[in-house]
Chain A
């Protein structure tokens, strides 16, 4: 028995010791981010080629590397990385700051010209001449036809049948006619979603001008004028055999590019009612999409091996690749891209099973990464997240329809403390919908920081704005508000404040607070300052918000009550966007949600996010789905009045009687639809005013913006990431030390 006890004791000690050692290996806490790193990711083509780098993603790859997400409900992030590494020579590419820039390695010259398309419509024609001598992975020279093939093919009924997608050329003049052509109906009237159009075999807005020259005509008024219209000219070449298969050519007789008849060839099987006709190229497109080895690649890497069993892909360098927009060529010979398990990612990094771990935001993870960096065997790259966690409001009903209430919440919440606590010291607070990496923000930073209201915690200001907003009543309609009489404030609603379907007349809290309801006293309605908040389950942000907003005394002292409802994300989506299929019951109940937002590029188009509901009810109904906050702010200029379109910022300010008079509906449209592509100074004026107005209206309250850390094996040289330039982009600038 003694021996047994000894054995048991040894076992228990071993388990405990392992646990202690494991716990002891946790990183130091409390140290902050180290500023700057020793790598800068500048262009360097002096490296020697060689070595292997293993990249990882917590998203399991799906093998859809050619046209990731095409015709599908979403795109797989890991597949997108592989697509990015194997696709190149785009006429425009995203730079480290998230902006589209012309790719001078590919583009010899480009010219933009405004074309009168008749009936007051203007198109933008972009003529592009590419450099000769650009080669794909198999040695085939890239010509203008390689650039046009994809847009021509993926705008036809053939691609629609095969891949469920035919929208590639939708921004280009003549798309409606071209996409209606099915191989047999050239010149015939066809009913489409654009109305009745004359089907055309030729794509009028797409021209194959010579071997190295082509043009794209961006269609007005839907796609031009538009600040980002030139990005419609960002197209990549594709292997003709990949896209078109055997026997199809890209042609142009002088009035529009088109595909030869073989593209539209069909086969009919069965007879009579059972007869089924399919395009012959249907099978080709479905097969070529997942054929990794037959067709050539245009990017810095080619797929050498796709292992579906382990969801792992091996990429080999493409020696023919001439470089990206900065002329950077690859120097890492082999890239292995595999599934990364978040819970053991540091162990994988240290075991050499992966060379880079990305997007660390948790304080203990970052500290662990920094302690690895201290060993000298690892490096780190950190950057501010292009996005933020936020409180989001529905602004068309309930107390949150009043900006004073939203502002009062902001004044009552210590966001600095919140961000610091939540990000464990590795985060910051933003005061508007921007990334500190945006070119426009960088340009205007001083002015914005001076003029954006940070809503520093102030119970006095919170009470002031509420009183200014009319939240001065007790439950019995008496005023001023007295906490001993009424725990929450009430507001007397004007007739214009009843909300959609007069919902505010019967508005009330949920759960235990449903007794806090709008009361009718005489002919007046008094709404209680109770806000129904909906959150997802097991959400760390929600827990911290509960501590700050519900368990704290700031809001109760102010006469405000917040109720909390936890649910799953689908139900939350349903309530947020009012989708009955997602569980929305038909009556808006919750008007505050904690969510997050972010940007993949610096393209900043918020038109349609703001709705005009006063002059144009049709517009309201049509665009409410696009609205994030259901907020209308359209006084005094309406974008839908033609004479207000196309005004410069200064003209609009003069007409409105001051910049502060411009509403979000107008600004959001004008900043992208009244500014010519490339006119950065004019755009920045709108951008500035958009942020200022947004900061005043506060449809969301930004809570925290993380600092992201990437940790990598120091064998990788010249590694530098940014929010818009992830490891799969940054690796192009890198080399492996052992190969040097």
Chain B
């Protein structure tokens, strides 16, 4: 097992490096010049001195690692290595390996990690809750539907889930805001806390929870359909297995048949999805965050893309690549625990 994990980690490293280079090249191809933008921001101050502006531009190119101190372009491979922190930039190692993920220029010029800290906390806060609630509803519901396959309740849930699954998130969000925030006034329209509140501790937590309620309901509602149907399908397949028939023939209690025998067999395809969901808690919801004005990762991501803030975008994408690769490893290991027939040590 240990050897397998080490081997997979080495693969992860190789894939990560290849993907990081591809990503770096793709963003480098986009026609945008940060040095030019920084220099142009001071254009007015150089009205009398266009050559000074050009020198300033060259200085920014050197500072940003686009050119060496003589003004010569640095080739993309070397820039990529500098960015990773494997080679020296302007005399020192100063890349991802050293904890320097670059600078964000979207709002205020700040290190990328500083820009991502608050949104990441917000995203985790809302997504962890949404994921737990959604799984808490969908798994029992899916099992119930599978067990009661063909019943009226199953049909009703299938119809409801297909509607929920088909509606785009923004439509659901707008309808829910209209219904719950405007008509019923149960929840606030947007925001994360009561405006101007000075609450602390538990009071603040509950205030935040109140503001998060509607986004949470929407995120949960939107994810019910897919997972419910997936669990249902998986359980139906598991319940039709010979071993289940044998267990029932042996007089095993129905609950034990369902939750011990069938559910374990149904879990293998579901675990991929569930782990994927948990990995998704880092990535935020662009739609929900934008509609509710939440300061989360989805909003940062889209804002950064719109503002050509590629240090942030690259950092996020590499983070998601890393999480994705790690998630695959985790899924493979979990398979072994769920199904003893699967061995992952080779």
Contact = CB atoms under 8 A, between A and B. Distances in A.
Whether A and B are associated in the same complex: the answer reads yes
Interface of A: 1, 3-4, 7-8, 11, 15, 18-19, 21-22, 52, 54, 60-64, 71-74, 76, 79, 164, 167, 170, 193-194, 222, 305, 307-312, 314, 334, 336, 338-341, 343-344, 347-348, 350-351, 353-354, 570-571, 574, 579, 581-583, 608, 622-623, 625-626
Interface stretch (B9-17, B43-51, B131-139, B224-232): B43-51
Interface string B86-118: 000000000000000000011111100000001
Given A76-B108, A351-B188, A625-B43, 5 more contacts: A4-B156, A52-B196, A307-B193, A312-B193, A579-B36
Given A54-B196, A341-B291, A579-B33, A64 B152 contact: no
A193 B195 contact: no
A709 to B, nearest CB: 20
B84 interface: no
Contacts of A312: 191-193, 195-196
B317 interface: no
Question: Counting chain A CB atoms within 10 Å of each CB, which of B33, B106, B110, B196 scores highest?
Answer: B196
Contacts of B33: 579, 581-582
B195 A353 contact: yes
Contacts of A54: 195-196
A64 B106 CA distance: 12
Contacts of A11: 159-160, 163
Given A18-B175, A348-B190, A570-B32, A71 B47 contact: no
A164 B41 CA distance: 12
Contacts of A314: 196, 198
B182 A350 contact: yes
Interface string B62-101: 0000000000000000000000000000000000000000
B140 interface: no
10 contacts: A22-B178, A54-B196, A193-B52, A309-B295, A341-B190, A351-B188, A353-B189, A570-B308, A582-B36, A622-B50
Nearest to A354: B195
B122 A60 contact: no
B30 interface: yes
Question: Counting chain A CB atoms within 10 Å of each CB, which of B55, B107, B193 scores highest?
Answer: B107
B107 A60 contact: yes
A18 B179 contact: yes
B291 A608 contact: no
B246 interface: no
A79 B198 contact: no
B303 interface: yes
A60 B41 contact: no
A307 B122 CA distance: 13
Interface of B: 30-34, 36-38, 40-43, 45, 47-53, 55, 105-110, 118, 121-122, 152, 155-156, 159-160, 163, 174-175, 177-179, 181-183, 185, 188-193, 195-196, 198, 290-293, 295, 299, 303, 308
Contact of A309 (B31, B178, B193): B193
A60 B37 contact: no
A622 B49 CA distance: 9
Nearest to B308: A570
Contact of B31 (A305, A347, A571): A571
B121 A309 contact: yes
Contact of A73 (B109, B156, B303): B109
Secondary structure class of chain A's binding surface, majority of residues: mixed
Given A71-B109, A310-B192, A570 B118 contact: no
B177 A347 contact: yes
Contacts of A18: 175, 178-179
B124 to A, nearest CB: 12
A167 B107 contact: no
Contacts of A7: 156
Contacts of B191: 310, 312, 338-339, 353
B293 A62 contact: no
B188 to A, nearest CB: 6
B31 A344 contact: no
Contacts of A336: 195-196
Given A73-B37, A348-B189, A574-B31, A338 B195 contact: yes
Nearest to B290: A341
Contacts of B185: 351
A570 B156 contact: no
Contacts of A72: 41, 105, 108-109
Nearest to B294: A310
Contacts of A167: 42, 45
Contact of B108 (A79, A350, A570): A79
Contacts of B50: 622-623, 625-626
A64 B108 contact: yes
A579 B31 CA distance: 10
A421 B36 CA distance: 38
A582 B40 CA distance: 13
Given A54-B195, A61-B107, A581 B291 contact: no
A622 B54 CA distance: 10
B196 A334 contact: yes
Given A7-B156, A11-B160, A336-B195, A344 B32 contact: no
Contacts of A626: 43, 47, 50
A348 B196 CA distance: 15
Nearest to B187: A351
Contact of B38 (A73, A76, A170, A574): A73
Contacts of B177: 344, 347
Nearest to A171: B45
A19 B172 CA distance: 11
Contacts of A608: 47
A1 B182 CA distance: 35
A581 B121 contact: no
Nearest to B152: A4
- Across the A-B interface, give the 5 residue pairs with the lowest CB-CB distance, nearest first: A62-B107, A583-B31, A581-B33, A62-B108, A310-B192
B189 A344 contact: yes
A74 B123 CA distance: 27
Nearest to A584: B31
A120 B30 CA distance: 50
A701 to B, nearest CB: 26
B105 A353 contact: no
A64 B107 contact: yes
Contact of B181 (A308, A311, A351): A351
Contacts of B182: 347, 350-351
A309 B181 contact: no
Contacts of B53: 625
Contacts of B109: 71-73, 164
A693 B36 CA distance: 33
A167 B47 CA distance: 13
Nearest to A68: B108
A314 B194 CA distance: 12
Nearest to A273: B91
Contacts of A579: 33, 36
Given A336-B195, A347-B181, A582 B31 contact: yes
B105 A73 contact: yes
A317 to B, nearest CB: 13
Contacts of A581: 31-33, 36
Contacts of A350: 182
B118 to A, nearest CB: 5
Contacts of B190: 339, 341, 344, 348, 353
B156 A8 contact: yes
A353 B188 contact: yes
A15 B178 CA distance: 12
B115 to A, nearest CB: 9
A533 B37 CA distance: 25
